[in-house]
Amino acid sequence: MALPPPSQQLGPRLTPPRTVGAVVRQARDALRRQRADRAAQAAQQPEAPAPTRLTLTLPLPVASASPRGAPLDELPFSLFDESDWPGGIQQRFRALRPLVEATLEGYEVNFLGMLESPADGLGCWTLGAPPDAPSATFVGIPTNATFASFAKLCDGGYGAAPARPGHTLVAVNPDWTGPADIGQFWERDLKAAAARLLAPGAWAPLYAARMLRTSRARGHGLLVGSWGRGWHLWAADSAGRHWRRRPTAERRHAEESSSVRDECVLWSEAEPEAAAVVEALNRAAAGSRKR
């Protein structure tokens, strides 16, 4: 896929978000643009469109790596590592909830609680009034293990709203891997639902921010996709060669958002292919080491 350089971007550029607060503000702006686009589309096409399905990926601040007492808005985020979350998905959901609710600030929001067991880490918010006819539903964190409950939500099993024409359903920090990995081989209905709901193109990104590391830690960076703004990739300071021999603090810095540089090294209207991202980050890291 041919990718235009940053100088050929279409529309306004994003600035690299280096804190959780900056991510939340960009995600909130993306939601407003999406809702404005949806309203304009509805005005032109009076017939109710099919439900809209979006994904929202918010990086979580790692409490153990953050200064004690620091405001959430000012915390950096880092490359996701399971070892940072000894409490599992429950701990991750507790960290995610204030970010989602900050993103939805300014709207009438209802947190409906967990869909099933709190241990599943699958919580639900509705946006808009009245509560029996919300305009959007946000649910996080759907995984392979909890996909049966998520599919039930998508199909109106917990209330008709998510399946209604014109409704927007947003999967927050989805952690599914694909239909083939969902359900046991005898769970034919679940596998069929996964294949249908996770078909290519079924979900469009509303906003996503992810710290990245290439093979052997040659390059680090931040990839951000935002509704109506395309996808931006910024390189981060790299720990360089012999990465695993570097002090822990140096490795952590390279993986944190605070190390992201200002220059956008890759831009694409659609999400760039992994190979293009790796090439851009490795090239930026090599250029940095030559300076």
> Tell me, what's the pLDDT at 242?
41
CB neighbour list of residue 183: distance below 8 Å, 6 or more residues apart: 147, 148, 190, 191, 194
> Tell me, what's the pLDDT at 9?
46
For residue 48, give the amino acid letter.
A
Phi first, then psi: what are they for 269, rounded to 5°? -65, -40
CA-based nearest residue to 151, from 117, 114, 192, 180: 192
pLDDT per position as a tens digit, 50-102:
678 999 999 998 765 566 667 777 888 888 888 888 889 999 999 999 999 99
Burial-class residue 77 by CB neighbours within 10 Å (0-12, 13-18, 19+): buried
Element (H, E) at 102: helix 88-103
**Do 59 and 256 form a contact (C-beta atoms < 8 A)?**
no
> Tell me, what's the pLDDT at 55?
97
Sheet holding 109-114, edge to edge: 109-114, 123-127, 136-140, 168-172, 52-57, 204-213, 220-226, 230-236, 260-268
Per the DSSP assignment, residues forming a β-bridge with 111 are 125
**Do 198 and 176 form a contact (C-beta atoms < 8 A)?**
yes
CA-based nearest residue to 219, from 184, 200, 243: 243
Low-confidence residues in the chain, pLDDT < 70: 1-12, 46-50, 63-69, 129-134, 216-217, 238-254, 288-291
Pairing of strands 220-226, 204-213: antiparallel
- Cα–Cα distance measured from residue 291 to residue 276, given in angstroms and rounded to the nearest whole number: 23
> Tell me, what's the pLDDT at 5?
44
- Cα–Cα distance measured from residue 267 to residue 270, given in angstroms and rounded to the nearest whole number: 9
> Tell me, what's the pLDDT at 114?
93
- Cα–Cα distance measured from residue 138 to residue 85, given in angstroms and rounded to the nearest whole number: 23
> Tell me, what's the pLDDT at 268?
93
> Tell me, what's the pLDDT at 245?
47
Max Cα distance, the chain (Å): 61
Distance of CA 134 to the CA centre of its chain: 22
- Cα–Cα distance measured from residue 126 to residue 108, given in angstroms and rounded to the nearest whole number: 8
Q: Give pTM, 2 decimals.
A: 0.88
